[in-house]
Amino acid sequence: MKVVITGGAGFIGSRVARTLLARGKLANQAGVQTDISELVVFDIAEAQNLPEDSRLRTVVGEATDRALLAEVVDGADSVFHFASVVSGGAEADLQLGLRVNLDGTRMLLDLLAEGGQKPRLVFSSSLAVYSDGSGEVNDQTVPTPKSSYGVQKLCCEHLIGDYSRRGLLDGRSMRFPTIAVRPGKANLANSSFISNIIREPVAGRETVCPVPADTEITLMSPGRLIEAIIKVHDLDAKDLGWPKALLLPAVRVSVNQMLDALEDQVGPEARARVSFATDEKVYAMVKTWPIEIRANRATALGIETDADAAEIVADFVTESAG
């Protein structure tokens, strides 16, 4: 089977690529575990840290290039659609976010529909589709996004649901919480600070946290997310049910709890590398995010999140040391 990952050079996309190459199989359209014969990683940048593998092909280009995208997804049995302008970038440039996040996704859906293979599609949505940071979000919570990024993600969820209802493809949207701890450089996502306050001190670098120490946020570790992505892909559409957008579980932690875990794992000198200077623009956005997630539907499907901040930080420290 042919598998495509858009945004495949990114942190999540590249981890999914490595996992799929090691796993070797995915459920096909009929739900039968099938060997992956071709894995296409498509992104605006060249993918790094991927293994040499005869099944792997990398393509560099714009996600809005229809001719190139058509070639990339031609004959695809499964598509993981992670290509996106992140939250801060979409808020800073409305037209860029609309062009990539909304128009680019619709273009992809049209191409997959025209191909006639009815592939499985996994789409990375976000908790940004919600906006009430004061309370609990559960499977019945009505999305009310208050950011351009959240609006764009919600629009894509509805499109994917409609294309699936029409039998043009088999789509599944996943509402990602903040994923931490991410290695590499910080990006324009408003949530990037939560990775920065762990990653940078572990590497011996100082960093500034743009929100107060008692700020709470909902997190999932990269390892748990990759497990969830594969599980959601392989689910029978009947088991996933409706709506096609699935809220993922997440653990509620504070900045202070993350720093406590950092100190326990690395020492007080690491914690001392984190200083605080509130960025009101970032803080205002963070305060709209939900701080309690009750994802009973995902939990019933066997999707789990992390136990606490200590587990998330310990996983990152162990992986960094390896």
Query: Any idea which residues carry the catalytic annotation?
Result: 149
172, 229 contact by CB (below 8 A): no
Three-class secondary structure of residue 38 per DSSP = strand
Q: Are strands 207-209 and 274-276 parallel, antiparallel or unpaired?
A: parallel
How far is Cα 229 from Cα 80, in angstroms, rounded to an integer?
9
| E strand or H helix that includes residue 310 | helix 309-321
Helix (H, G, I), strand (E, B) or coil at 300: helix
Burial 281-303 (b: 16+ CB within 10 A, else e): ebeebbebbbbebbbebbeebeb
Full DSSP string of 75-91: T-SEEEE-----HHHHH
Long-range contacts from 14-19, C-beta under 8 angstroms, 24+ separation:
14/41, 14/47, 14/48, 14/49, 14/50, 15/222, 15/226, 16/80, 16/82, 16/226, 16/229, 16/230, 17/41, 17/47, 17/50, 17/56, 18/49, 18/50, 18/51, 19/226, 19/230
* CA separation for the pair 37, 284 (Å, rounded): 46
Compute, in degrees rounded to 10, the torsion defined by CA atoms 10, 150, 171, 16: 20
d(CA 27, CA 20): 12
Give every CB contact of residue 140 below 8 A, 6+ residues apart in sequence. Answer: none
Write the CA distances from 259 to 89, 192, 275, 293, integer angstroms: 27, 15, 11, 22
